[in-house]
Amino acid sequence: MTPRRRQRLVLVGLIVVGCTIAIGLALLALRENINLFFSPSQIVDGTAPSNTTIRLGGMVVAGSIQRGENLGVTFVLTDLAEQVTVAYEGILPDLFREGQGIVTQGKLDSTGRFLAEQVLAKHDETYMPPEVNDALRKVMAVGQ
């Protein structure tokens, strides 16, 4: 084996080992950190798993925002077909308001309430998160 070949072999070996470790790490980390997106309909019909971190998106139902103790708040999200009550503790984003499409991240409890750890609303009042938009469109298509 020429020195050049040997060096190339060592290099390739190093890269393979590095990539294997990295891919292993990455897949392990991915498995624990992928959050699936669900619509209120999927929560109600039982497609969504409970006690796993998932994302739920929909429109905030008018008049559904209720303040509780401290910074506790509950509101209802809809995809125009079904509704899910969301509970959250903390400050809501600037653009959180009635009729706005938002995405929340959290867990579904056994009573069918969604306990949000994060509420995301993007900075544009005409903006609708693509996931929410798709979910709404699906409902509209079924309705026609």
Partner 1 sequence: MIPELGTFSLILALLCAIVQGTFPLLGAHRNHYHWMNLARSAAWSQLVFVGLAYACLTVSFLSHDFSVRYIALNSNTQLPVIYLISGVWAGHEGSLLLWALILAGWTGAVERCSSAIPQEMRARVIAVMGLVSTGFLLFIIMTSSPFVRQFPIPLEGNDLNPLLQDPGLAIHPPILYLGYVGFSVPFAFGIAALLAGRLDGAWARWSRPWTLFAWTFLTIGIALGSWWAYNELGWGGWWFWDPVENASFMPWLVGTALVHSLAATEKRGVFKAWTVLLALFAFSLSLLGTFLVRSGILTSVHAFANDPARGVFILIFLSLVVGLSLGLYAWRAPSVRSTLVTSPISRESFILINNILLMVTTATILLGTLYPLVMDALGLGKISVGAPYFNSVFVPLTAPLVLLLGTASVIRWKQDRIKRLLWILTPILLISFVIGVLWPVFNMPHYSSVAIFGVTLGVWTFATAVVGVWSRTSGGNRWRRLRNTPSSFYGMTLAHIGVGVFAIGIALTSAFSVEKQVRMAPGDHQLIGGYDFRFDGVIDVRGPNYLAQRGVITVLKDGLPVSRLEPEKRTYQIQRNPMTEAGIEAGLMRDLYVSLGEPLDDGRSWGLRLYLKPFIRWIWLGALLIAIGGLIAGFDRRYRLPSGIRNRSPGTVTTPSVGM
115 scored as a contact of partner 1 (CB under 8 A): no
C-alpha span between 141 and 88 (Å, rounded): 31
Stretch that binds partner 1, among 26-34, 78-86, 107-115, 136-144 (CB under 8 A): 26-34
> Which CB atom, from 133 or from 140, has the smaller least distance to partner 1?
133
Other Cβ atoms less than 10 A from the Cβ of 70: the count is: 8
Write each residue from 81 to 110 as x if it is in contact with partner 1 (CB under 8 A), else as -, in one continuous string.
---------xxx-xx-------x-x-----
- Considering only 9, 12, 36, 62, the residue that binds partner 1 (CB under 8 A) is 36
Whole-number minimum distance, CB 133 to partner 1, in Å? 10
Length of the chain equals: 144
30 scored as a contact of partner 1 (CB under 8 A): yes
- Considering only 12, 14, 62, 140, the residue that binds partner 1 (CB under 8 A) is 14
C-alpha span between 5 and 37 (Å, rounded): 49
- The residues, ordered by sequence, that sit 6+ positions from 44 with a Cβ below 8 Å of its Cβ are 82, 83, 84, 112
With b for 16 or more beta-carbon neighbours within 10 A and e for fewer, the 86-98 pattern comes to bbbeeebeeebee
Write each residue from 48 to 87 as x if it is in contact with partner 1 (CB under 8 A), else as -, in one continuous string.
-------x-----------x--xx----------------
